[in-house]
Amino acid sequence: MRKLTWLSGLCLSVFIQSCSANTPDENTQPPGNDNGDKATVWVTNGSQAKLLKQDNPVSIITGTNAGASSNLIKIDFGTKLQEMEGFGAALTGSSAYLLNKKMSAAQRAALLKDLFDSKDGIGISYLRVTMGASDFSLEDFTYNDLPAGQTDPDLAKFSIARDQDDLVPVLKEILNLQPGIRIMATPWSAPAWMKSNGKLAGGSLKPEWYPAFARYFVKYLDAYKKEGISIDAISVQNEPLHEAAYPSMGMDAAAQNIFIRDHLGPVLKTNSIKPKVLLYDHNWDRPDYPITILSDAQTNPFVTGSAFHAYGGSVSAMSEVHDKFPDKGLYFTEISGGRWATNFSDNLKWNMSNIFIGTANNWSKNALLWNLALDDNDGPKNKGCDNCRGVVTISANGSVTKNVEYYAIAHMSRFVKPGAFRVQSDKFSSASKLESVAFLNTDGSKVLVVLNQSSENQKFTVADTDKSYNYTIEPNSVATIVW
Protein backbone atom coordinates (compact mmCIF):
# COMPACT_ATOMS: atom_id res chain seq x y z
CA MET A 1 0.00 0.00 0.00
CA ARG A 2 1.02 3.63 -0.44
CA LYS A 3 -0.02 6.46 1.90
CA LEU A 4 -0.71 9.86 0.35
CA THR A 5 -1.02 13.05 2.35
CA TRP A 6 -4.45 13.95 0.93
CA LEU A 7 -5.93 11.43 3.34
CA SER A 8 -4.97 13.70 6.25
CA GLY A 9 -7.97 14.43 8.38
CA LEU A 10 -10.00 11.65 6.83
CA CYS A 11 -9.10 8.44 8.63
CA LEU A 12 -9.57 7.60 12.30
CA SER A 13 -8.50 7.42 15.91
CA VAL A 14 -6.34 4.56 16.95
CA PHE A 15 -7.96 3.67 20.20
CA ILE A 16 -11.61 3.50 21.13
CA GLN A 17 -12.49 5.96 23.85
CA SER A 18 -14.81 5.31 26.75
CA CYS A 19 -18.52 5.36 25.93
CA SER A 20 -21.33 7.24 27.61
CA ALA A 21 -25.03 6.54 27.63
CA ASN A 22 -27.12 8.12 24.90
CA THR A 23 -30.84 8.70 24.88
CA PRO A 24 -32.57 6.56 22.22
CA ASP A 25 -34.20 8.33 19.30
CA GLU A 26 -37.95 8.68 19.17
CA ASN A 27 -38.87 7.52 15.69
CA THR A 28 -42.50 8.35 15.15
CA GLN A 29 -44.21 6.61 12.25
CA PRO A 30 -46.37 7.98 9.45
CA PRO A 31 -50.08 7.38 9.97
CA GLY A 32 -51.28 4.01 8.72
CA ASN A 33 -51.91 0.47 9.85
CA ASP A 34 -49.14 -0.94 12.03
CA ASN A 35 -49.06 -4.60 10.97
CA GLY A 36 -46.64 -5.67 13.68
CA ASP A 37 -43.58 -5.75 11.41
CA LYS A 38 -40.42 -4.30 12.88
CA ALA A 39 -37.12 -3.17 11.44
CA THR A 40 -34.03 -3.67 13.58
CA VAL A 41 -31.47 -0.86 13.73
CA TRP A 42 -27.76 -0.84 14.56
CA VAL A 43 -25.90 2.44 15.09
CA THR A 44 -22.35 3.74 15.36
CA ASN A 45 -21.94 7.45 16.00
CA GLY A 46 -19.04 9.84 15.85
CA SER A 47 -19.04 10.46 19.58
CA GLN A 48 -18.49 6.69 20.13
CA ALA A 49 -21.40 6.63 22.58
CA LYS A 50 -22.84 3.98 20.28
CA LEU A 51 -20.52 1.43 18.71
CA LEU A 52 -22.53 -1.02 16.59
CA LYS A 53 -25.26 -0.70 19.21
CA GLN A 54 -28.73 -2.07 18.63
CA ASP A 55 -31.20 0.80 18.70
CA ASN A 56 -34.94 0.73 19.33
CA PRO A 57 -36.81 -1.25 16.65
CA VAL A 58 -38.84 0.69 14.11
CA SER A 59 -42.46 -0.15 13.27
CA ILE A 60 -43.28 -0.75 9.62
CA ILE A 61 -46.74 0.36 8.57
CA THR A 62 -48.90 -0.46 5.56
CA GLY A 63 -49.05 2.49 3.20
CA THR A 64 -46.24 4.60 1.79
CA ASN A 65 -47.48 8.02 2.93
CA ALA A 66 -44.79 9.97 1.10
CA GLY A 67 -45.58 13.13 3.07
CA ALA A 68 -44.34 11.72 6.36
CA SER A 69 -40.88 13.22 5.92
CA SER A 70 -39.18 15.67 3.58
CA ASN A 71 -36.36 13.10 3.21
CA LEU A 72 -38.08 10.29 1.33
CA ILE A 73 -36.25 7.33 -0.16
CA LYS A 74 -38.02 4.79 -2.34
CA ILE A 75 -36.41 1.37 -2.67
CA ASP A 76 -37.19 -1.04 -5.51
CA PHE A 77 -36.16 -4.46 -4.24
CA GLY A 78 -37.32 -5.97 -7.53
CA THR A 79 -34.54 -4.26 -9.48
CA LYS A 80 -31.35 -6.13 -8.69
CA LEU A 81 -28.00 -4.63 -9.59
CA GLN A 82 -24.58 -6.21 -8.81
CA GLU A 83 -24.24 -9.33 -6.67
CA MET A 84 -22.15 -8.75 -3.56
CA GLU A 85 -19.26 -11.07 -2.72
CA GLY A 86 -18.20 -9.83 0.70
CA PHE A 87 -16.54 -7.32 2.99
CA GLY A 88 -13.30 -7.56 4.90
CA ALA A 89 -9.59 -6.74 4.91
CA ALA A 90 -6.15 -8.12 4.13
CA LEU A 91 -4.66 -10.94 6.18
CA THR A 92 -1.11 -9.76 5.56
CA GLY A 93 1.96 -11.61 6.75
CA SER A 94 2.18 -9.18 9.66
CA SER A 95 -1.46 -9.74 10.62
CA ALA A 96 -1.08 -13.52 10.45
CA TYR A 97 2.11 -13.41 12.55
CA LEU A 98 0.42 -11.37 15.30
CA LEU A 99 -2.59 -13.66 15.38
CA ASN A 100 -0.51 -16.83 15.35
CA LYS A 101 2.48 -15.91 17.50
CA LYS A 102 1.47 -13.00 19.72
CA MET A 103 -1.87 -14.30 21.02
CA SER A 104 -2.69 -17.33 23.10
CA ALA A 105 -4.87 -19.97 21.47
CA ALA A 106 -7.82 -18.75 23.53
CA GLN A 107 -7.22 -15.08 22.64
CA ARG A 108 -6.90 -15.91 18.95
CA ALA A 109 -10.03 -18.07 18.96
CA ALA A 110 -12.02 -15.28 20.59
CA LEU A 111 -10.83 -12.63 18.15
CA LEU A 112 -11.34 -14.80 15.07
CA LYS A 113 -14.86 -15.65 16.25
CA ASP A 114 -15.58 -11.96 16.73
CA LEU A 115 -14.27 -11.12 13.27
CA PHE A 116 -15.51 -14.06 11.19
CA ASP A 117 -18.41 -15.85 12.86
CA SER A 118 -21.58 -14.95 10.98
CA LYS A 119 -23.84 -15.43 14.02
CA ASP A 120 -21.83 -14.30 17.04
CA GLY A 121 -19.38 -11.98 15.28
CA ILE A 122 -19.33 -9.41 12.50
CA GLY A 123 -19.14 -12.06 9.78
CA ILE A 124 -16.20 -10.85 7.68
CA SER A 125 -16.70 -12.70 4.40
CA TYR A 126 -13.76 -11.70 2.16
CA LEU A 127 -9.99 -11.68 2.70
CA ARG A 128 -7.07 -10.53 0.62
CA VAL A 129 -3.71 -12.27 1.05
CA THR A 130 -0.31 -11.49 -0.40
CA MET A 131 1.52 -13.88 -2.72
CA GLY A 132 4.91 -13.64 -1.05
CA ALA A 133 6.04 -10.63 0.96
CA SER A 134 4.52 -7.16 0.99
CA ASP A 135 5.33 -4.03 2.96
CA PHE A 136 3.62 -5.77 5.90
CA SER A 137 5.61 -8.99 6.22
CA LEU A 138 8.41 -10.11 8.52
CA GLU A 139 10.94 -10.09 5.67
CA ASP A 140 11.30 -9.98 1.90
CA PHE A 141 10.55 -13.21 0.05
CA THR A 142 8.78 -14.83 -2.87
CA TYR A 143 8.07 -18.52 -3.44
CA ASN A 144 11.09 -18.98 -5.72
CA ASP A 145 14.06 -17.08 -4.33
CA LEU A 146 17.50 -17.95 -5.69
CA PRO A 147 21.10 -16.73 -5.29
CA ALA A 148 22.01 -13.90 -7.64
CA GLY A 149 22.75 -15.13 -11.15
CA GLN A 150 20.65 -18.31 -10.88
CA THR A 151 17.36 -19.02 -12.64
CA ASP A 152 14.70 -21.73 -12.30
CA PRO A 153 12.59 -21.73 -15.47
CA ASP A 154 10.76 -24.92 -14.45
CA LEU A 155 10.04 -23.52 -10.95
CA ALA A 156 11.45 -26.71 -9.44
CA LYS A 157 12.30 -24.86 -6.21
CA PHE A 158 8.88 -23.25 -5.77
CA SER A 159 7.71 -23.45 -2.14
CA ILE A 160 5.08 -21.81 0.09
CA ALA A 161 7.01 -22.87 3.22
CA ARG A 162 7.12 -19.35 4.66
CA ASP A 163 3.32 -19.07 4.39
CA GLN A 164 3.01 -22.30 6.34
CA ASP A 165 4.54 -20.63 9.40
CA ASP A 166 1.64 -18.26 10.09
CA LEU A 167 -0.62 -17.49 7.14
CA VAL A 168 -1.79 -21.00 6.29
CA PRO A 169 -2.56 -22.03 9.91
CA VAL A 170 -4.55 -18.85 10.54
CA LEU A 171 -6.46 -19.23 7.27
CA LYS A 172 -7.41 -22.76 8.29
CA GLU A 173 -8.76 -21.50 11.62
CA ILE A 174 -10.77 -18.86 9.79
CA LEU A 175 -12.16 -21.42 7.36
CA ASN A 176 -13.47 -23.43 10.30
CA LEU A 177 -15.53 -20.38 11.29
CA GLN A 178 -16.42 -19.13 7.81
CA PRO A 179 -16.09 -22.04 5.34
CA GLY A 180 -17.42 -20.01 2.42
CA ILE A 181 -15.10 -17.04 2.85
CA ARG A 182 -13.71 -15.68 -0.40
CA ILE A 183 -9.95 -15.25 -0.61
CA MET A 184 -8.18 -13.02 -3.10
CA ALA A 185 -4.42 -13.36 -3.65
CA THR A 186 -2.09 -10.66 -4.98
CA PRO A 187 1.67 -10.66 -5.70
CA TRP A 188 3.75 -7.62 -4.75
CA SER A 189 6.67 -8.85 -6.85
CA ALA A 190 7.81 -11.67 -9.08
CA PRO A 191 10.97 -13.51 -7.96
CA ALA A 192 14.01 -11.25 -8.33
CA TRP A 193 15.60 -13.43 -11.01
CA MET A 194 12.64 -12.72 -13.31
CA LYS A 195 13.00 -8.94 -13.02
CA SER A 196 14.84 -6.20 -14.86
CA ASN A 197 16.76 -5.02 -11.77
CA GLY A 198 17.34 -8.41 -10.14
CA LYS A 199 15.67 -7.17 -6.93
CA LEU A 200 12.32 -7.57 -5.18
CA ALA A 201 12.00 -3.80 -4.74
CA GLY A 202 10.98 -2.03 -7.94
CA GLY A 203 11.94 -3.05 -11.44
CA SER A 204 9.74 -4.81 -13.98
CA LEU A 205 9.07 -8.33 -15.20
CA LYS A 206 11.37 -9.31 -18.08
CA PRO A 207 9.32 -10.42 -21.11
CA GLU A 208 11.33 -13.64 -21.41
CA TRP A 209 10.02 -14.66 -17.99
CA TYR A 210 6.33 -13.98 -18.70
CA PRO A 211 5.66 -17.73 -19.24
CA ALA A 212 7.44 -18.68 -15.99
CA PHE A 213 5.56 -16.06 -13.98
CA ALA A 214 2.26 -17.31 -15.39
CA ARG A 215 3.16 -20.84 -14.22
CA TYR A 216 4.10 -19.30 -10.84
CA PHE A 217 0.40 -18.47 -10.36
CA VAL A 218 -0.55 -22.04 -11.24
CA LYS A 219 1.97 -23.41 -8.73
CA TYR A 220 0.59 -21.10 -6.06
CA LEU A 221 -3.03 -22.05 -6.66
CA ASP A 222 -2.15 -25.75 -6.63
CA ALA A 223 -0.10 -25.44 -3.43
CA TYR A 224 -2.94 -23.72 -1.59
CA LYS A 225 -5.45 -26.23 -2.91
CA LYS A 226 -3.33 -28.99 -1.36
CA GLU A 227 -3.64 -27.15 1.96
CA GLY A 228 -7.42 -27.22 1.58
CA ILE A 229 -7.56 -23.49 0.83
CA SER A 230 -9.41 -22.35 -2.28
CA ILE A 231 -8.30 -19.06 -3.81
CA ASP A 232 -11.36 -17.40 -5.35
CA ALA A 233 -9.59 -14.55 -7.17
CA ILE A 234 -6.14 -13.37 -8.16
CA SER A 235 -5.00 -9.95 -9.23
CA VAL A 236 -2.01 -9.78 -11.53
CA GLN A 237 0.07 -7.23 -9.62
CA ASN A 238 -0.42 -4.99 -6.60
CA GLU A 239 -0.18 -1.28 -7.45
CA PRO A 240 1.55 -1.80 -10.81
CA LEU A 241 2.18 1.93 -11.25
CA HIS A 242 4.12 2.28 -7.99
CA GLU A 243 7.67 0.97 -7.53
CA ALA A 244 8.80 1.18 -3.91
CA ALA A 245 11.58 0.25 -1.47
CA TYR A 246 9.58 -2.82 -0.42
CA PRO A 247 8.59 -5.73 -2.70
CA SER A 248 6.97 -4.09 -5.72
CA MET A 249 6.99 -4.29 -9.48
CA GLY A 250 6.15 -1.87 -12.24
CA MET A 251 3.79 -3.12 -14.94
CA ASP A 252 2.11 -0.69 -17.31
CA ALA A 253 -1.20 -1.45 -19.01
CA ALA A 254 0.46 -2.64 -22.22
CA ALA A 255 2.67 -5.12 -20.34
CA GLN A 256 -0.19 -6.40 -18.19
CA ASN A 257 -2.33 -6.85 -21.26
CA ILE A 258 0.31 -8.97 -22.99
CA PHE A 259 0.94 -10.98 -19.84
CA ILE A 260 -2.75 -11.83 -19.37
CA ARG A 261 -3.58 -12.32 -23.05
CA ASP A 262 -0.61 -14.43 -24.11
CA HIS A 263 0.46 -16.15 -20.90
CA LEU A 264 -1.62 -16.08 -17.71
CA GLY A 265 -5.04 -16.51 -19.34
CA PRO A 266 -3.99 -19.39 -21.60
CA VAL A 267 -2.02 -21.25 -18.91
CA LEU A 268 -4.93 -21.09 -16.45
CA LYS A 269 -7.24 -22.39 -19.18
CA THR A 270 -4.83 -25.18 -20.14
CA ASN A 271 -4.62 -26.31 -16.51
CA SER A 272 -8.41 -26.07 -16.04
CA ILE A 273 -7.95 -23.58 -13.19
CA LYS A 274 -10.65 -20.94 -12.97
CA PRO A 275 -9.92 -18.26 -10.40
CA LYS A 276 -11.37 -14.85 -11.05
CA VAL A 277 -8.66 -12.80 -12.77
CA LEU A 278 -8.60 -9.15 -11.71
CA LEU A 279 -6.48 -6.53 -13.42
CA TYR A 280 -5.04 -3.18 -12.34
CA ASP A 281 -5.42 -3.28 -8.48
CA HIS A 282 -4.42 0.34 -8.03
CA ASN A 283 -5.90 3.79 -7.46
CA TRP A 284 -9.12 5.35 -8.71
CA ASP A 285 -7.14 8.00 -10.62
CA ARG A 286 -6.30 5.76 -13.59
CA PRO A 287 -9.48 4.12 -14.93
CA ASP A 288 -7.82 4.23 -18.36
CA TYR A 289 -5.55 1.36 -17.26
CA PRO A 290 -8.27 -1.30 -16.94
CA ILE A 291 -10.27 0.20 -19.82
CA THR A 292 -7.25 -0.20 -22.13
CA ILE A 293 -6.84 -3.88 -21.27
CA LEU A 294 -10.54 -4.72 -21.38
CA SER A 295 -10.71 -3.13 -24.83
CA ASP A 296 -8.48 -5.88 -26.22
CA ALA A 297 -10.92 -8.45 -27.59
CA GLN A 298 -8.45 -11.29 -27.06
CA THR A 299 -7.66 -10.39 -23.44
CA ASN A 300 -11.20 -9.52 -22.37
CA PRO A 301 -12.52 -13.11 -22.04
CA PHE A 302 -9.73 -14.00 -19.62
CA VAL A 303 -10.57 -11.11 -17.26
CA THR A 304 -13.25 -11.24 -14.58
CA GLY A 305 -12.98 -7.62 -13.54
CA SER A 306 -10.92 -4.70 -12.28
CA ALA A 307 -9.68 -3.91 -8.76
CA PHE A 308 -9.18 -0.48 -7.23
CA HIS A 309 -7.50 1.29 -4.29
CA ALA A 310 -8.43 4.67 -2.84
CA TYR A 311 -5.12 6.52 -2.36
CA GLY A 312 -5.90 8.76 -5.33
CA GLY A 313 -8.83 9.74 -7.52
CA SER A 314 -12.58 9.45 -6.97
CA VAL A 315 -14.82 6.44 -6.40
CA SER A 316 -16.79 7.45 -9.52
CA ALA A 317 -13.95 5.96 -11.59
CA MET A 318 -15.45 2.54 -10.89
CA SER A 319 -18.69 3.55 -12.58
CA GLU A 320 -16.68 4.89 -15.51
CA VAL A 321 -15.26 1.40 -16.07
CA HIS A 322 -18.67 -0.22 -15.46
CA ASP A 323 -20.32 2.00 -18.06
CA LYS A 324 -17.89 0.82 -20.73
CA PHE A 325 -17.80 -2.84 -19.66
CA PRO A 326 -21.00 -3.60 -17.70
CA ASP A 327 -20.43 -7.36 -17.99
CA LYS A 328 -17.18 -7.19 -15.99
CA GLY A 329 -17.00 -7.12 -12.21
CA LEU A 330 -15.56 -4.32 -10.11
CA TYR A 331 -13.73 -4.87 -6.83
CA PHE A 332 -12.45 -2.53 -4.15
CA THR A 333 -9.36 -4.06 -2.58
CA GLU A 334 -7.38 -1.61 -0.41
CA ILE A 335 -7.35 1.50 1.77
CA SER A 336 -5.73 2.04 5.16
CA GLY A 337 -6.32 4.30 8.10
CA GLY A 338 -3.37 5.61 10.05
CA ARG A 339 -1.92 7.97 12.63
CA TRP A 340 -1.87 10.77 10.06
CA ALA A 341 -5.56 11.26 10.89
CA THR A 342 -7.09 10.47 14.25
CA ASN A 343 -10.63 11.83 14.40
CA PHE A 344 -13.04 8.92 14.89
CA SER A 345 -16.10 10.76 13.60
CA ASP A 346 -14.44 12.14 10.46
CA ASN A 347 -12.97 8.78 9.57
CA LEU A 348 -16.19 6.87 10.21
CA LYS A 349 -17.95 9.19 7.79
CA TRP A 350 -15.19 9.11 5.18
CA ASN A 351 -14.96 5.33 5.18
CA MET A 352 -18.71 4.83 4.98
CA SER A 353 -19.20 7.50 2.32
CA ASN A 354 -16.34 6.49 0.04
CA ILE A 355 -15.44 2.89 0.76
CA PHE A 356 -18.59 1.08 1.85
CA ILE A 357 -21.59 3.05 0.60
CA GLY A 358 -19.59 4.72 -2.17
CA THR A 359 -18.01 1.67 -3.77
CA ALA A 360 -21.26 -0.31 -3.65
CA ASN A 361 -23.13 2.52 -5.34
CA ASN A 362 -20.40 2.54 -7.98
CA TRP A 363 -20.82 -1.17 -8.79
CA SER A 364 -18.19 -2.77 -6.56
CA LYS A 365 -18.92 -6.35 -5.55
CA ASN A 366 -16.83 -6.12 -2.37
CA ALA A 367 -14.98 -3.67 -0.13
CA LEU A 368 -11.70 -4.50 1.57
CA LEU A 369 -9.49 -2.53 3.92
CA TRP A 370 -5.74 -3.08 4.35
CA ASN A 371 -4.17 -4.81 7.39
CA LEU A 372 -6.64 -6.85 9.41
CA ALA A 373 -4.42 -6.52 12.50
CA LEU A 374 -1.30 -4.58 13.49
CA ASP A 375 0.47 -4.06 16.80
CA ASP A 376 0.83 -0.99 19.03
CA ASN A 377 3.77 0.16 16.90
CA ASP A 378 1.79 -0.09 13.64
CA GLY A 379 3.68 -3.20 12.58
CA PRO A 380 5.46 -5.46 12.02
CA LYS A 381 6.34 -3.49 8.88
CA ASN A 382 8.65 -4.14 5.98
CA LYS A 383 9.99 -0.81 4.67
CA GLY A 384 6.51 0.49 3.87
CA CYS A 385 4.00 2.69 5.67
CA ASP A 386 5.33 3.51 9.13
CA ASN A 387 2.07 4.73 10.71
CA CYS A 388 -0.72 2.64 9.21
CA ARG A 389 -3.48 1.27 11.42
CA GLY A 390 -5.03 -2.18 11.40
CA VAL A 391 -8.73 -2.95 11.61
CA VAL A 392 -7.83 -4.09 15.11
CA THR A 393 -4.73 -3.47 17.22
CA ILE A 394 -3.15 -6.43 18.99
CA SER A 395 -1.05 -5.40 22.01
CA ALA A 396 1.97 -7.24 23.41
CA ASN A 397 -0.18 -9.09 25.95
CA GLY A 398 -2.60 -10.26 23.25
CA SER A 399 -5.36 -7.81 24.15
CA VAL A 400 -7.36 -6.29 21.31
CA THR A 401 -8.48 -2.75 20.50
CA LYS A 402 -11.22 -2.42 17.90
CA ASN A 403 -10.47 0.56 15.68
CA VAL A 404 -13.04 2.52 13.71
CA GLU A 405 -12.39 0.39 10.63
CA TYR A 406 -13.82 -2.55 12.57
CA TYR A 407 -17.14 -0.77 12.95
CA ALA A 408 -17.18 0.45 9.37
CA ILE A 409 -16.74 -3.11 8.08
CA ALA A 410 -19.25 -4.47 10.58
CA HIS A 411 -22.06 -2.20 9.39
CA MET A 412 -21.83 -4.09 6.09
CA SER A 413 -20.41 -7.57 6.77
CA ARG A 414 -22.70 -8.40 9.67
CA PHE A 415 -25.85 -7.68 7.70
CA VAL A 416 -25.12 -7.87 3.95
CA LYS A 417 -24.31 -11.48 3.20
CA PRO A 418 -22.45 -12.93 0.20
CA GLY A 419 -24.91 -13.46 -2.62
CA ALA A 420 -26.94 -10.40 -1.68
CA PHE A 421 -27.77 -7.95 -4.45
CA ARG A 422 -27.55 -4.21 -4.33
CA VAL A 423 -30.98 -2.94 -5.37
CA GLN A 424 -32.27 0.21 -6.98
CA SER A 425 -32.93 3.04 -4.55
CA ASP A 426 -33.37 6.79 -4.65
CA LYS A 427 -30.72 9.21 -3.51
CA PHE A 428 -31.40 11.63 -0.72
CA SER A 429 -31.07 15.31 -1.57
CA SER A 430 -27.55 16.68 -1.17
CA ALA A 431 -28.90 19.25 1.29
CA SER A 432 -29.87 16.50 3.74
CA LYS A 433 -26.26 15.23 3.91
CA LEU A 434 -27.67 11.71 3.95
CA GLU A 435 -26.16 8.88 1.90
CA SER A 436 -27.45 5.34 1.56
CA VAL A 437 -27.29 1.99 -0.19
CA ALA A 438 -29.80 -0.87 -0.09
CA PHE A 439 -29.44 -4.65 -0.47
CA LEU A 440 -31.57 -7.78 -0.71
CA ASN A 441 -30.13 -10.89 0.98
CA THR A 442 -30.73 -14.40 -0.35
CA ASP A 443 -32.96 -15.17 2.65
CA GLY A 444 -35.27 -12.31 1.69
CA SER A 445 -34.10 -9.92 4.41
CA LYS A 446 -33.70 -6.30 3.35
CA VAL A 447 -30.85 -4.02 4.40
CA LEU A 448 -30.49 -0.25 4.22
CA VAL A 449 -27.26 1.44 5.31
CA VAL A 450 -27.60 5.19 5.94
CA LEU A 451 -24.90 7.74 6.74
CA ASN A 452 -25.68 11.13 8.27
CA GLN A 453 -22.82 13.52 7.49
CA SER A 454 -24.57 16.46 9.14
CA SER A 455 -24.27 17.76 12.69
CA GLU A 456 -28.02 17.49 13.27
CA ASN A 457 -30.62 14.76 13.62
CA GLN A 458 -32.13 13.87 10.25
CA LYS A 459 -35.55 12.26 9.92
CA PHE A 460 -36.24 10.24 6.80
CA THR A 461 -38.96 7.98 5.41
CA VAL A 462 -38.32 4.66 3.67
CA ALA A 463 -40.94 3.52 1.15
CA ASP A 464 -40.82 -0.18 0.27
CA THR A 465 -43.62 -1.09 -2.17
CA ASP A 466 -46.80 -0.76 -0.06
CA LYS A 467 -45.05 -0.32 3.30
CA SER A 468 -43.04 2.42 4.92
CA TYR A 469 -41.32 3.55 8.10
CA ASN A 470 -39.68 6.64 9.55
CA TYR A 471 -36.34 6.82 11.26
CA THR A 472 -34.39 9.68 12.80
CA ILE A 473 -30.66 9.21 12.46
CA GLU A 474 -28.25 10.89 14.85
CA PRO A 475 -25.63 13.43 13.74
CA ASN A 476 -22.33 12.10 12.39
CA SER A 477 -23.48 8.50 12.47
CA VAL A 478 -24.20 5.41 10.43
CA ALA A 479 -27.23 3.19 10.85
CA THR A 480 -27.84 -0.25 9.35
CA ILE A 481 -31.55 -1.07 9.20
CA VAL A 482 -32.74 -4.64 8.57
CA TRP A 483 -36.31 -5.86 7.95
pLDDT digits (tens, 9 = 90+) for 74-131: 999 999 999 999 999 999 999 999 999 999 999 999 999 999 999 999 999 999 999 9
Q: Give tens-digit pLDDT for 425-451.
A: 999 999 999 999 999 999 999 999 999
Cβ count within 10 A of residue 269: 12
Which pLDDT does position 67 carry in this prediction?
Answer: 52
Q: Looking at per-residue confidence, does 17 or 249 come out higher?
A: 249
Q: Does 27 score more than 90 pLDDT?
A: no
Q: Give tens-digit pLDDT for 165-174.
A: 999 999 999 9
Q: What percent of the chain has pLDDT over 90?
A: 91
Q: Looking at per-residue confidence, does 30 or 371 come out higher?
A: 371
Q: Give tens-digit pLDDT for 220-237.
A: 999 999 999 999 999 999
117-124 LR contacts (CB < 8 Å, sep 24+): 117/177, 117/178, 118/178, 118/417, 121/177, 121/414, 122/52, 122/406, 122/409, 122/410, 122/413, 122/414, 123/178, 123/413, 123/414, 123/417, 124/86, 124/87, 124/88, 124/89, 124/178, 124/181, 124/409, 124/413
Q: Give tens-digit pLDDT for 288-327.
A: 999 999 999 999 999 999 999 999 999 999 999 999 999 9
Q: Does 271 score more than 80 pLDDT?
A: yes
- Pick the closest to residue 137 from 92, 99, 100 (CA basis): 92
Q: Looking at per-residue confidence, does 404 or 5 come out higher?
A: 404
Task: Provide DSSP, 285-350.
Answer: T-THHHHHHHT-TTTGGG--EEEEESSSS-THHHHHHHHH-TTSEEEEEE--EETT---HHHHHHH
Q: Does 10 score more than 90 pLDDT?
A: no
User: Within 13 Å of residue 1, how many CA atoms lie on the same side as its CB?
Assistant: 29
Q: Which residues are catalytic?
A: 239, 334
Average pLDDT taken over every residue of the chain: 93
Over range 187-193, report the average pLDDT. Answer: 99
Q: How does residue 31 score in pLDDT terms, banded at 50, 70 and 90?
A: very low
Q: Give tens-digit pLDDT for 14-26.
A: 333 333 333 334 4
Which pLDDT does position 68 carry in this prediction?
Answer: 61
CATH topology of domain 85-418: TIM Barrel (3.20.20)
Phi and psi at residue 361, in whole multiples of 5°? -70, -15
Q: Does 255 score more than 70 pLDDT?
A: yes
Instruction: Flag the least confident range among 35-39, 48-52, 184-188, 232-236.
Output: 35-39
Q: How does residue 11 score in pLDDT terms, banded at 50, 70 and 90?
A: very low
Return the domain boundaries, the chain: 31-82+422-482, 85-418
Over range 41-69, report the average pLDDT. Answer: 89
Q: Does 33 score more than 80 pLDDT?
A: no
**Domain 31-82+422-482, architecture per CATH:** Sandwich (2.60)
Please list the residues that pair with 330 across neighbouring strands: 306, 364
